[in-house]
């Protein structure tokens, strides 16, 4: 059984034991890990980690909470560095109205620039959407017409919103939240959305799934996400792993 963690911040300082973390992931059947960036300062480290470890890939982008700090040269750097064969996506980027709503205009501008970069480079777009569902969806649908795959990272919307997303061909990425007892929306989506539109992720070191909730998350634990989705769907974990892995390889071209 092979699994892919499509979103894991193993470039962060939480992972000083990176050799062990990746070895543990491999032992759990997680053969591919995607590291998304959050700001320009993480680009070089993500590329270095991706080049060092077989099966590890990166994505370059500017997180919406960093939008106020973005400069023109940052976008030029994304274009330049994304030529590396281990960079498979642009992101994570998008809109976040949870922390601070004082610079929404800047968030939208930075998001739009990265949408255009992804289209120009023909790479998947990893989208962060927190309490900004309508604006995120509108910007995506107004500016993307099937040119590139869209991954809705750490999906937090309703089942109805998820259905609208897959009508547009977007992929829904689910992580450790689906293992939480009271995560009703995630449970509904895991049960109802066709497997052909689902991806697995951890968002490590955050959102650690049961049975390790409260501890540091890591790529190996994507296995528990797959197991919970299989349980909710009444299917085998092998089927969930096979289809979500095929989806990730197609979307990310790995």
What are the structural domain ranges in the chain?
3-252
Residue bearing tokens 């959050």: 38
- Predicted pLDDT at 170: 98
Burial letters for 117-150: b for 16+ Cβ neighbours within 10 Å, e otherwise? bbbebebbbbbbbbebbebbbebbeeebeeebbb
Q: What is the pLDDT of residue 100?
A: 86
Joined tokens for residue 201: 């992720």
Average pLDDT, the chain: 97
* CB 124 within 8 Å of CB 89: yes
Q: Each residue of 175-232: pLDDT tens digit? A: 999 999 999 999 999 999 999 999 999 999 999 999 999 999 999 999 999 999 999 9
For residue 141, pLDDT beyond 90: yes
Homologous superfamily in CATH for domain 3-252? Metal-dependent hydrolases (3.20.20.140)
Q: What angle do CA 5, 11, 15 make, to 5 degrees?
A: 90
Distance CA 199, CA 136 (A): 19
pTM score, whole prediction: 0.97
* Cis upstream peptide for 92 (omega within 30°): yes
On the question of pLDDT at 99 being above 90, the answer is no
Provide the 10 A C-beta neighbour count for residue 243.
17
Residue for token pair 């829904």: 172
């Amino acid at each position: 059984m092979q699994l892919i963690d499509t979103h894991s911040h193993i470039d962060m300082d939480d992972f000083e034991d990176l050799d062990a973390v990746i070895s543990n992931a491999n032992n759990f059947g997680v053969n591919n890990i995607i590291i998304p960036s959050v700001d320009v300062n993480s680009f070089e480290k993500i590329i270095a980690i991706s080049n060092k470890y077989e099966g590890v890939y990166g994505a370059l982008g500017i997180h919406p909470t960093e939008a106020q700090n973005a400069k023109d040269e940052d976008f030029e750097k994304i274009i330049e560095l994304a030529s590396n064969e281990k960079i498979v996506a642009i992101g994570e980027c998008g809109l976040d109205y949870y922390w601070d709503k004082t610079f929404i205009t800047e968030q939208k501008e930075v998001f739009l620039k990265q949408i255009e970069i992804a289209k120009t480079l023909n790479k998947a777009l990893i989208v962060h959407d927190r309490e900004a569902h309508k604006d995120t969806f509108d910007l995506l649908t107004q500016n993307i017409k099937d040119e590139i795959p869209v991954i809705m990272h750490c999906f937090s919307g309703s089942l109805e919103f998820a259905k609208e997303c897959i009508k547009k061909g977007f992929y829904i990425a689910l992580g450790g939240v689906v293992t939480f007892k009271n995560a009703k929306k995630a449970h509904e989506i895991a049960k109802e959305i066709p497997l052909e539109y689902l991806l697995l992720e951890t968002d490590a070191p955050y959102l650690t799934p049961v049975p390790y909730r409260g501890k540091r998350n890591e790529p190996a634990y994507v296995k528990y996400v797959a197991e919970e989705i299989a349980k909710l769907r009444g299917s085998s974990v092998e089927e969930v792993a096979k289809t979500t892995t095929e989806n990730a390889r197609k979307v990310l071209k790995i």
